Structure 1
């Protein structure tokens, strides 16, 4: 009996580090597609990475696509062009029911009139247990008071980090 219990304990313990690494690598792979779609204004591909609840709240795929296009056009009119995205560490995650929620720290670098703007932000990644597909939620306008309006299952076990002001670096 003791041997069976010990064997079960070892198997369970060996599962967790592997599972954590699998979550991180799965998110890293998905975020590359998300970054690619963002940088190339591939709105159809980008919609595949946006959390379905956001698309539904926007009035469907076509309405969300139009919103994304409008945002991009407004940024271009202001002289803002996103040049690069970087994934930062650490990715934190938790299981909530049948979903996995993760906080994914990212940095975006944008060309703006007179210089460069570096912004640190977090995305929320959401997937079901099999991690077949990840969806992302921008947290720019989210905090602990309103996050459940976007992600009903959010249980607060992950804390949204405080927002950081963007850093402007003047052109030389």
Structure 2
């Protein structure tokens, strides 16, 4: 009787660990999205994949660029209204990292009305799913994937970005 119980436990344990990873990655992605909505760019940068931060010139330069960019956007009538993070997709092993995609929808107020942009976040964990960093997969980021991730798993298919639509 004990042996079937142990077998069941061994078979179900990986499923429960996977479910926990899904909750953790989504929670951490929502934290970064909330920080973006609140213009807490230091928190956004802390949640950004470190190599991407380095390529952008480091934390201080990226903070300066984000602050200036948001100021310019506001002066042109743009503001974030809502960021929605969807459920994570399949997890992929990529060298020593775990990667997955999370769908993201950003709704912005513009001078012409509300606009929605759908894209994906690439979530990256270096510690077996305990902590995650993210990259918004715009065209430039997608073209840099091989530079950022030499061990990128080719089975993880990144959808092409779509154009924003007016609501």
TM-score bracket, shorter-length normalisation: 0.7 to 0.9
Report 1 or 2 for greater relative contact order, CA contacts < 8 Å, sequence distance ≥ 6: 2
Q: Residues of 1 paired with 2:17 and 2:156: CA distance?
A: 18
Q: Residues of 2 paired with 1:15 and 1:99: CA distance?
A: 21
Question: 1:117 is paired with a residue of what secondary structure?
Answer: strand
Q: Residues of 2 paired with 1:90 and 1:50: CA distance?
A: 17
TM-score normalised by L of structure 2: 0.87
Structure 1 contact 53–151 (Cα < 8 Å) conserved: no
Q: Residues of 2 paired with 1:31 and 1:92: CA distance?
A: 16
Q: Which runs of 5+ in 2 are unaligned?
A: none
Q: Residues of 2 paired with 1:151 and 1:16: CA distance?
A: 26
What's the CA shift string for 1:15-62, capped at 9, x where partnerless? 332122111100111012101110111111111101100111122110
Match in the other structure for 2:156: 158
Match in the other structure for 1:89: 87
Structure 2 contact 124–133 (Cα < 8 Å) conserved: yes
Structure 2 contact 118–162 (Cα < 8 Å) conserved: yes
How far apart are residue 71 of structure 1 and its match? 1.8
1:42 matched to 2:6? The reply is no
Aligned positions, number:
165
Cα RMSD (Å):
2.1
Q: Residues of 1 paired with 2:49 and 2:158: CA distance?
A: 17
Q: Residues of 1 paired with 2:7 and 2:75: CA distance?
A: 59
Match in the other structure for 2:132: 134
